[in-house]
Structure 1
């Protein structure tokens, strides 16, 4: 049986001991994960432990139970909090309800009270977890979400973000069959004269437009249709290239029906006939064609082959091929780099590439690789190595026959350099954090959030990196730094404990003494006395 983790919080050790022994935690489905003597300590413990339930007293030093409950609910919405108090005060109970505490108990608390409360909490946790895990519910939710997920997958394929084996496996998982000899991609956009009126139902025009497209095409052609942002996208499945004319005819009908039925100006922009390997190109062409809507007017079919008949005939390598290579260099394996280069070279070998085309292609490659290097502040010489002349004259020294070998060497070295830079970056980030803590540990409001603002990184990323590099959390490290300086001040000065507490970042002298004793097993004053006793 899976046990839920409980944290008990009370400033009285006797009460904590009694509550620990009062009930059989495991029999009720709980595991006592730890105890804390105040709200501040409990908050720090919840950052390190996977706590499901916190049971806390209200009256405690440093941070009371109500403040703890508020902070826990802010950071962990699903955590259950049980509050108890020795005061029969309506304001306490009202505040506990306002903070969404699960239960509010009055001392003295009997074993029976605790069993009843934790039984109710367990029932609620079971219900919540079962809702997440319920296979029937998950299956029902999956089936409802499947059309949306299929649409997102197809858009990922069209945009070139998902390809190869990943695309094939996801298509199978999402129960989507896109197999066809040829394809055409169309973007359909509708607009009305009432644009900008938030009360106008035509603001939702893409949805009825999609329904209309599906109703018209469903018995005429095989297709997949989805809505993305303000446009409807249609992927047509063709048995042969000649069916492209049929696509254009049907889209023309769609534009006319949209005008008549939806009272909207409907424009269809279409890319060329393609295969699965180049479907992203047809998608990009449809986007290019749609840009001509403002020049040529809407309410018609804009076919890229009519508008730009020669624009892409000599395209040897697509933007998609460049993206694949860049992705492999940045986060891929070495074999993925080789695969991306091989695909890029296949495009070059298919064409009789002219010197001018090769120069343009090479400059695009250099530009993409320089962009990658620039994000890590690498110079061109660090990317391409040292050579005579300017780096953008490289194409003169790397003929087409040597391009594959040159790319393998440059991209593999760049991948290795980026890996080392990332490793160095995490080390630098950690050192910057250590230095900042060393300089600002005396500030009582120093927190992970303020440090992350200084470092310009997210708290989640920083916490993961810092703990991995240092071996402890930010809170634990800051506490160690403060207490080490406190020990030094106790040894070298005669300042009072409350002054030393303020000097190392603690506004509450009592809390400073509590943390110090917990770390060293003795209070600050006794620690100082013991040091003087040891002096000859």
Structure 2
């Protein structure tokens, strides 16, 4: 019988032991894995142990049971909660209902009622486990059906029946690894079987069904080492979708498909041709590549058998003029601000490669690059980086760009400028982070005694967001704000204990703690002894 875990929370040892004795836990299907004396300790244990059930008192030091339950719901929302209390107050009961606790019971706890409560909770936990099992069964059914659904998805891509947002949704749903910069479709089909003994229609039909399977196997055995692709059978075609990094990789695809046609002909004794469609840069346009691949296949009668036909060789297109679009410019700006050197270099390389194979003129490219420089100037102003710092005081934007005669020269120049802007921006960011952290530390050193001191207070004074401040503060100091503040307060408390005769409760207020008991708790957690014990030890040491 499976056992569920229980954590008991009460500041009185005798109460915890009394509860333990009221129930045969193992027989009820539970086992107690932890005890806690207050809400803070309970939260820490719950985060590590993840008990199935937490049974807690309301009145406890440092953090009461209701507060603990509210916080527990945020870190372990599935944990069942039982609240017990010696006070029959409506407000407690109402808040317990709002927290969706399983039970609210009054002390003294009746053994029979306790058994009934845990019987109900066990039934609820059993039902949740069964529900998870049912979900797992549905998942297994889904994964078993996944190959069929993937083929249907691929067919829909070829036919162009899906909207772009739906394509992304289904691609993620089916875990289809189809990420690429460019795509191209090839269709493969054999003309005839040429089987000497296959004279009966039934035998020919059988071979016609088996042939695409054999062709796909040949594809998978020979293309894997050449480039990334996806292959499947669709409407008696063997479909190959090439996943290309660069548009020029289409030549590898053509060579690979030529090889497939020849191997298929030799191994299966059939004439085999392949049509290769126009490359496209998104899955939403894959249907255009598929249609042009089928159009290319129709030209097989004009060429030698057993080879691939590329649509662009058969139906050449007019030269396409392009511009660098806004998305490409913004990608470069983003890489300058937050990307790595490698990401920035890759973005610029992709931009240069795109125009290299589009037959764009150098003069047209120069005008497009000017748009990037305009964005660089705007970005520099945001971070107070002068144009002179970016390109040099004597730089003339248009005239100097016009001096370049090759695409590679422009690419190298653009990369150098972008890298310099990136470096200056990062230096500005680093200086700002150090200054903010120094101001925060100075403020903490002067105001640690303020019991209201918080991240929000400091962020308001420094005029920065809490999220940004927390990130840079931890990066610069190696610890979070709360830990740093606690460290300062504890160091000051040690100093006061050593140098004054003030009582511990007075020192608690002087170092920013409103509650002396909590101050003693933190002090003991930090140094292993209470403040009074620490002072006694120091006195004893000095008297020796």
TM-score, normalized by length of structure 2? 0.55
Q: Secondary structure at the match of 2:522?
A: helix
State the Cα deviation string for residues 402-423 of structure 1 (Å, max 9, x = none). Answer: 2122233334555566677777
Residue 490 (1) aligns with residue 497 (2): yes
CA distance in 1: counterparts of 2:2 and 2:434, whole angstroms: 38
Q: Secondary structure at the match of 1:81?
A: strand
> Is the CA contact 2:6–2:30 (under 8 Å) kept in the aligned structure 1?
no
Q: Secondary structure at the match of 1:535?
A: helix
Q: Report the CA distance between 1:338 and its aligned residue.
A: 4.3
Larger radius of gyration: 2
Q: Which of residues 488, 505, 509 is equivalent to 1:502? A: 509
> Is the CA contact 1:80–1:121 (under 8 Å) kept in the aligned structure 2?
no
Q: Secondary structure at the match of 1:104?
A: strand
Describe the shift of the 1:97–1:178 C-alpha distance in structure 2 as closer, same or farther (beyond 3 A). farther
CA distance in 2: counterparts of 1:432 and 1:133, whole angstroms: 53
Q: Which of residues 502, 527, 530 is equivalent to 1:523? A: 530
CA distance in 2: counterparts of 1:137 and 1:43, whole angstroms: 36
Aligned to 1:136: 139
Residue 457 (1) aligns with residue 460 (2): no
Q: Report the CA distance between 1:98 and its aligned residue.
A: 2.8
Residue 153 (1) aligns with residue 168 (2): yes
Q: Report the CA distance between 1:70 and its aligned residue.
A: 3.2
Aligned to 1:12: 12
Gaps of at least 5 residues in structure 1 are 157-161, 181-232, 244-274, 276-312
> Is the CA contact 1:28–1:118 (under 8 Å) kept in the aligned structure 2?
no
> Is the CA contact 1:29–1:122 (under 8 Å) kept in the aligned structure 2?
no
CA distance in 2: counterparts of 1:523 and 1:82, whole angstroms: 33
Aligned to 2:206: none
State the Cα deviation string for residues 78-119 of structure 1 (Å, max 9, x = none). Answer: 454332224455654443223211233444476974964763
Describe the shift of the 1:51–1:368 C-alpha distance in structure 2 as closer, same or farther (beyond 3 A). farther
Q: Secondary structure at the match of 2:56?
A: strand
Q: Report the CA distance between 1:529 and its aligned residue.
A: 3.2
Q: Which of residues 158, 173, 180 is equivalent to 1:165? A: 180
Q: Secondary structure at the match of 1:340?
A: helix
Residue 320 (1) aligns with residue 327 (2): yes
Aligned to 2:37: 37
Residue 95 (1) aligns with residue 95 (2): yes
Q: Which of residues 468, 486, 500 is equivalent to 1:479? A: 486
Query: What's the C-alpha RMSD, in Å, of the aligned pairs?
Result: 5.6
Aligned to 2:81: 81
Q: Secondary structure at the match of 1:442?
A: coil
Aligned to 1:159: none
Residue 441 (1) aligns with residue 448 (2): yes
CA distance in 2: counterparts of 1:9 and 1:436, whole angstroms: 38
Aligned to 1:207: none
Describe the shift of the 1:149–1:318 C-alpha distance in structure 2 as closer, same or farther (beyond 3 A). closer
> Is the CA contact 2:10–2:36 (under 8 Å) kept in the aligned structure 1?
yes
Describe the shift of the 1:425–1:405 C-alpha distance in structure 2 as closer, same or farther (beyond 3 A). same
**Greater alpha carbon shift after TM alignment, 437-446 vs 109-118:** 109-118
> Is the CA contact 2:43–2:68 (under 8 Å) kept in the aligned structure 1?
yes
CA distance in 2: counterparts of 1:505 and 1:419, whole angstroms: 37
Summarize the alignment of residues 55-74 of structure 1 with structure 2, pairs less than 5 Å apart: 55-73=55-73
Aligned to 1:395: 401
TM-score, normalized by length of structure 1? 0.56
CA distance in 2: counterparts of 1:49 and 1:430, whole angstroms: 36
Summarize the alignment of residues 302-313 of structure 1 with structure 2, pairs less than 5 Å apart: none
CA distance in 2: counterparts of 1:2 and 1:465, whole angstroms: 47
> Is the CA contact 2:362–2:405 (under 8 Å) kept in the aligned structure 1?
no
Give the length in aligned residue pairs: 404
Q: Secondary structure at the match of 1:83?
A: strand
Gaps of at least 5 residues in structure 2 are 154-161, 172-176, 184-228, 231-238, 243-283, 296-310, 312-319
Q: Report the CA distance between 1:58 and its aligned residue.
A: 0.8
Aligned to 1:208: none
Residue 344 (1) aligns with residue 362 (2): no
